Structure 1
Amino acid sequence: MTIYIFPIFPLHRTGNLTSVSEFFLLGLSDDPELQPLLWVLFLAMYLVTMLGNLLIIFTVTSDSHLHNPMYFFLSNLSLADIGFASTTVPKMIVNILTHSRVISYAGCLTQMSIFILFGCMDCLLLTVMAYDRFVAICHPLHYMVIMNPRLCCFLVLVSFFLSLLDSQVHNLIVLQLTYFKNVDISNFFCEPSQLLKLACSDTFTNNIVTNILIYFIGAIFGGFPFTGILFSYTCIVSSILRVPSTGGKYKPFSTCGCHLAIMCLFYGRGIGVHLSSTVSSSPRDSAVASVMYTVVTPMLNPFVYSLRNRDIKRVMWGLFSKTT
């Protein structure tokens, strides 16, 4: 598909329009002195993200005591975090190393599609994990019957296919945008909102319809999972508060502590990014804020689970003892 913009980068001219097959990722900073520091920082964070999430997956699969729904969903969340971070960070590391900011139009759409796929899957898996904790605490006697292996696999598959649907809908919307005011993306990856800001629709009405459709899709794939999580934890807290003993209250709270911490990291930073992009007029501020939920959150997830979960720490320590 050929994309046309007003003449900024003359690659292939057609009348008074310019055919463009590339975008330019402006990144976080133009300062040449900061580039080596950014390269080392992002490479270190990416390696920690990969090693931490792979360690969670290996720990869960290596011990039969962790073969239960909670850790099954956790290992899938780690897989989604690996894909989420791998969509954006390696490209930025390569761009800094090669002093290149170019990304092809097809590569930009592919990156955006995979980014939405794993980002939406993170949201849906957190919702599934909230439902799992709801069943475990509010209906403990029926937990193993309700959360059987077939249902667990079904919930993960549904999360994947709904995320795939979300990413393809965004792709179809962007493919309908035939004119762009600029090709400079003020971020280190092809963020959907940035592409929409650069787009120049044929008519004002088409522009309004596109924005309404984007917000509607965001409300479905972001708002409904968040509402489901709030409902699950409202029921969980209500059930825990009815427990008479203090010890009986502590155990369920400690069990849900890891999941609550991950949710606060993911949704808190995501909402903060959108608020900062709305309040702040600087595109670079939005790019810096994007680092928090695209890089920092996937990196912190394994630490939260490994430090706050006794079962994970026990198995990790056992594996470490065997290897040494």
Structure 2
Amino acid sequence: MLKSVHLFGCSSGFVSNLLKPNSIVGFSLTFISSKRLSASSSLCCSSLRLSCPSTAPLFLAPRTGSFKAFCGSTCSEANQDGTSSSPLSMSESPPPSSSTVVHSSSLMQEKIRNIRFCQWCGGQTKHGIPDGEEKLRAICTVCGKITYQNPKMVVGCLIHHDDKVLLCRRKIEPSYGLWTLPAGYLEIGESAADGAIRETLEEANAEVEITSPFAQLDIPLIGQTYIIFMGKLKKPHFSPGPESLECCLFPLDDIPFDSLAFSSMLVTLRLYVEDVKAGRIIFHYGTINKRPGTGASDIHAYTLDYHLRS
């Protein structure tokens, strides 16, 4: 029988293990140091696949401040010295330029024209502006129904614990290997808060309690709205989920601003750092407008417009 061993870690030094069948050859190890970290260091939990036969013994032996796995282990507990840039000040931005608006509008029209078949009956569509409307739509030539394109909602949690924030390093594209808050698409049938709690459990194996909304960030160019909640860990335990390479608690000065996955994460974390320094966490609304001609990987190529605080 093939088995996998998971070690779960936390800042309090708790370590537990779970042994269960695994259909993949080898052991799946998630390892975390049992040593309590200083306030200035980052706590990380990462995973490693080992190619050990199912019959090979796996021993966990305590050593100073950590655990050792014979047959392989991985541990990341490091100060992020010199690896991140300082967060820049978030100032008020003017409304988006006309070129940005036109670029966004043309992209939306292109997406509409790519809708060639009706999502209800499968009939061919034509493209035009229906009576009483102002925008181009895909209209079914068989049943007459109109296909509307609506923004997708992304929900997530900004977890603060011992003056640190919890980030996950992505194991999937886009932005493989880069850092993000635990977040993802809202599912039908769940509230925004429920979705944020679910995504945090899926990506960081962390049970959290929502404490307040923190930010709503609209990204018209890609048709997404982010709702980020403040949250706290119910238990000081976390480990990488299937979509994460590792999870870390970062002190604010060590947040890897140059290695974040998305502009939305960059904006959210900069706003949070500013609020902490100001001594008051407030709610933010803003529109992230990517600069025309820049790619999705250029997370710094944006303006934060219509920034409102309450």
TM, length-normalised to structure 1? 0.23
Structure with more of its chain in helix, by fraction: 1
Structure with more of its chain in strand, by fraction: 2
TM, length-normalised to structure 2? 0.24
